[in-house]
Structure 1
Amino acid sequence: MSEALVKPVRLLRTRTYVWAAGAVLLLALPFYLDRFWLQAGLFAMAAAIGAIGINLLTGATGQLSMGHAFFLAVGAYGYCVFAGDGGDGLSGLGLPTWLAAVLAVLVAGVAGGLFSPIAGRLSGAYLGIATLALVFIGQHVMFNAHDLTGGSNGRDVPPLSLFGLTFDDSELVVAAVPFGSAEKLWYAGLVLLTACALFARGVLRGRPGRAMNAIRDHRIAAGVMGVPVARYRAAVFVLSSMYAGLAGVLLALVFQRTVPDYFGVVLSLEYLAMIVIGGLGSVAGAVVGAVFVSLLPQLLTRYSDTLPLVSAPGTGGVAPGEAARYLYGAAVVAVVLFLPGGLVRVAARRRVGTDPGEER
C-alpha cells in the first residue's frame, strides 16, 4: 500500500480509537463521579443541544438571534404544564411525562413557526432586535402567568418516566452503585445530545446545509441560484427553536425546578458566546463552546475558596458568576481577533499535521 493511502487509513483508525475510548469513558462516568460533576455534565449537555440549534441559525445561516432563552423557557415550562397533575395548585394536564417532553419540543417549534415569517424576512441586527423582544415578552408572561409558571417562585418539575424507569432520586442499584436522578439522566442526556449532533451534522453536510451557507455568505446570490431564501430562513428558525425547546426540557429535568430569572437576556448572550468561542457553523464547535461557557462558572463556584480574586457571593470579592462572565467575555474577544474559526479550528489544524499544503 502506498504512503498516500497508508496515512489516511492510520488517521481513520486513530480517530476511531479515540471516539471509542471517549464513548466508553462517558458511559462509565456515572459509576465514579459524584452528583456535582454529573449535574455539571448534564448542564453542559443541555447547553450543547441548545448551542447546536442556535449555531444552525446564526453560524450556518447567518441569522442573528438573541431570543434563544425564550424558546428554552417554552420547552421547560411547556413540559411542566403538560406533565404536571395540578397537585401543587398550578395548571397541569397530567400527561405521561415522555409525551409531555415531546409536546414541549413541538410547542417550542410552533412558537418558532409563529415568529418564522418575521425571521424569514429580517436579517442581521434587525432580526436580533426582534428576537430580543421575545425574551422580554417571555419574562413578562413567566412572572405574571402564575397559574402556568408559578410566578417568581417557579414550579416543580415532574420527573421523567420512560419504559417503566423513573428519572428521580429513588435509588436504582447498578453494579453495586446507587443510581439517582443525575445518574439516570446522564444516559438520557448522552442519547439526546448524540442524536441532535448527528442530525445537525447531516443537515449541514447535505443539500440544506449548502443552501444555508449560501444564504449566510450572500443572500441575493443564493436567491439568484434558486434557493428559496425566506423559506429556508423560516425553516431553520423553527428547527433552532425545537433544539432550544429540547434543551429547556433537559435543563428543567436536571434542576427539578424552573424559575423565570434564569431565562433572561444573559442566557441568550451566553449561547451566542458559546458558538463564537467554539466555532460558528460547526456542530463540534457548538459542543465545545457550550462545555466551556456552561462549566466555567460552576468550576469557579466549586473552587472559589482556593482561587485568587474569586470568592463566594456576598463576601466582598468577585463572585464566581461575574468572574466567569469576565473570562468568557475575554475569550470571545480573543477568538474574534486571533481564532476566527473558534476553538475547533485549532483542533482541526492539529489533526491536519505539519504539511502546509494539507492545512489549506
Structure 2
Amino acid sequence: MSESTATAARGSTASTARPAAAGPSQGRRLLRPLLLVALLVVLLLLPLYVEEFWLRTGFAAFGAIVGAIGLNLLVGNTGQLSLAHAFFLAVGAVSYVYVSGEPGGLGVAELSGLGLPPVVGMIVGVLLAGLAGLVFSPLAARLRGIYLGVASLALVFIGVHVLNAWTSVTGGFNGRAAPEFALFGFTFASRDPELYVLGVPFRESERLWYLGLVLAIAAYLFARNLLRSRPGRALQTLRDSEVAASVMGVNVQGYKARIFLVSSMYAGLAGVMYALSIGSIAPESFGLEVSILYLAMIVLGGLGSVNGAVLGALFVSALPLVFQRYADVIPFVGGRGEGGLAAGEAARFLFGTAIVLVILFEPAGLAGIARRVTGRGRRRPGGRVTESAPDTSSRSTSPVPSEKPAQGSTT
C-alpha cells in the first residue's frame, strides 16, 4: 500500500470516528434544555398541588433570588464589596408603598400616599433604587475592598434612621401596610375576580407565585445575557484587575457606576417583592442583618455565578421558614415558648456552618458542587471549579486568532 493511500485511509478512519466521539457531548447539550423545560413545567403546575405555605415561601424565595442575583453582579462579577443592599431594598419597598398607597391615618401617624396603580409603584420603586445606587456610585468608584464596604454600611444606618423618622411615608416604627398588587385591572388578592383552574381556587398565594416566577426568570435571563455580552466581559476584567482593565480600554469608573445602577435596580425590585410577600414594611426589616444574609446567599451559592445566586437564595430564604413550620419534628428546634433553639437561631447556626465548610472545601459554592456532580466542571489546584473545556477533536489544527480582549466603550 502506498504512503498516500495509507494517509487517506487514516484520514477516513479519523473522520468516521469523530462523530462517534462527539455523540455524548451532543447528548449532554440536548439534555440541559430538556431539564430546564421540565423544571419550568413543574414550577407552572406546582400551585395546583401544594398548599399555601409552600407558595408563600416560594414567592419570598423568588424575591430573594432577584436580590441575590443583583448583589452577585456587583460583588461576585465586579469585585465591589457592598453592605448597602438592605438600603436599596428599603428604597424599592418604601417607594412602592408610598406611590401606590392611599393617604390615611394609622394611630397617631398621618400617612400620605399618591394612590397610583401598583404597577406604577413597582416601576418607580425600581427606578428610584437604581437612582440611589447611581448617586452612591461616584464614591464607590474611588473606594475598594473593606473601605467600600464600610462606606456602604453607612447607607444602612442612614436608611434605618430615615425609616423611623419619616413617619408620614413609612409609618415610623409601626410600619405601613403594602398595597395589593394589580396589573391591568387584574388583582393579585384573594378576591375580584374569583379564579379557578382545574377546580383549584387561585387566591393570593397562587397568583403571587406566578408573579414571582415571571420576575425571577426575567431577572435571571437578563443577568445571564449581560455577563455573556461585551460589557459583562469588561466587568469580569475589572474584577480581576482594574489596572489591566484600564489598559484594555475599559472605562473603570463608568462601568462601576453602571453596575451599581443595575445591582440597585435588582435590589429595588426585590424590595417591592418583599413588601408584597410580608404585606407590610417596617424599619427593622431593612437592617444590617438583611445585607449580611444576602452576602451569605452569594457566598454559599458561589461568587460570580448566576446559578449559584439562585441556589444560595433558595437555601438562605426558605430554610428559616421551613424550620419554623416543622419546629416540632426537627431536633433541637422548638417553637415559641418551647425548649430548644428558635427557628431563626437554628437557621443562623446552619448558615454559619455552611459558610465555613464552603470556604474550606468548596470555594465555588453550591454551583461548583452542582457542576462537579454533573461533570460540567473540573477542579483546579486552587480549589476553584471551572467549566469543562469544549471538545476540540473535530476542529482544525490550523492556528486560529484568539478572541480580542474584553474592552468597554467610553460612552
Is this a same-fold pair by TM over 0.5? Answer: yes
Give the distance between the partners of 2:280 and 2:251, measured in 1 at CA.
41
For the pair 1:166 / 2:178, whether they are aligned, the reply is: no
Structure 2 residue 362 is the aligned partner of structure 1 residue 345: no
Write the deviation string for residues 181-213 of structure 1: whole angstroms up to 9, x where unpaired: 111111111111111111111111111111111
- Secondary structure at 2:344's aligned position in 1? helix
Q: CA deviation at 1:359?
A: 4.4
Which residue number corresponds to residue 259 of structure 2?
236
Question: What is the RMSD of the two structures over their aligned residues, measured on CA atoms?
Answer: 1.7
User: Is 1:266 aligned to 2:289, yes or no?
Assistant: yes
Task: Summarize the alignment of residues 146-295 of structure 1 with structure 2, pairs less than 5 Å apart.
Answer: 146-170=167-191, 171-295=194-318
In structure 1, what residue type is equivalent to 2:48?
F
Does 1:18 find its partner at 2:35?
A: yes
Asked whether the equivalents of residues 30 and 38 of structure 1 are also in contact (C-alpha less than 8 Å), the reply is: yes
Task: Work out the CA distance in 2 between the residues paired with 1:304 and 1:296.
Answer: 11
Identity across the alignment (%): 52
Say whether the 8 Å CA contact 1:61–1:212 is kept in structure 2. Answer: yes
SS of 1:2 mapped into structure 2: helix
Inter-partner Cα distance in structure 1 for 2:275 and 2:290: 15
**Structure ranking higher on relative contact order (CA contacts 8 Å, 6+ apart):** 1
Q: Which has more helix, going by share of residues?
A: 1
Q: Give the gaps of 5 or more residues in structure 1.
A: none
Q: Name which of 356, 380, 395 aligns with 1:333.
A: 356
Structure 2 residue runs without a partner (length 5+): 1-17, 381-386, 390-411
Alpha-carbon distance, 1:3 to partner:
2.0
1:81 to 88, 93, 98: 98
Aligned length: 360
Runs of 4+ in 1 over 4 A off after TM superposition: 353-360
- Mapped to 1, the partners of 2:238 and 2:30 lie a distance apart of 36
Question: Over alpha carbons, which structure has the higher Rg?
Answer: 2
Cα distance in 1 for residues equivalent to 2:150 and 2:347: 25
What residue number does 1:54 align with? Answer: 71
The worse-fitting range, judged by mean Cα deviation, of 320-329 and 347-356 is: 347-356
* TM-score, normalising length: structure 2: 0.85
Contact between 1:75 and 1:105, CA under 8 Å: does it hold in 2?
yes
Per-residue deviation, residues 111-168 of structure 1 (Å, max 9, x unmatched): 1111111111111101100111111001001111110100111111111111221011
The secondary structure found in structure 1 opposite 2:196 is: strand
Partner residue, 1:123: 144
Q: 1:69 matched to which residue of 2?
A: 86
Match of 2:398? none
Distance 2:339 2:370 in 1: 39
Alpha-carbon separation, structure 2, partners of 1:291 and 1:51: 10
Deviates more, 1:165-174 or 1:96-105: 165-174
In the TM superposition, residue 314 of structure 1 has moved relative to its aligned partner by 4.1
Shift of 1:8: 2.2
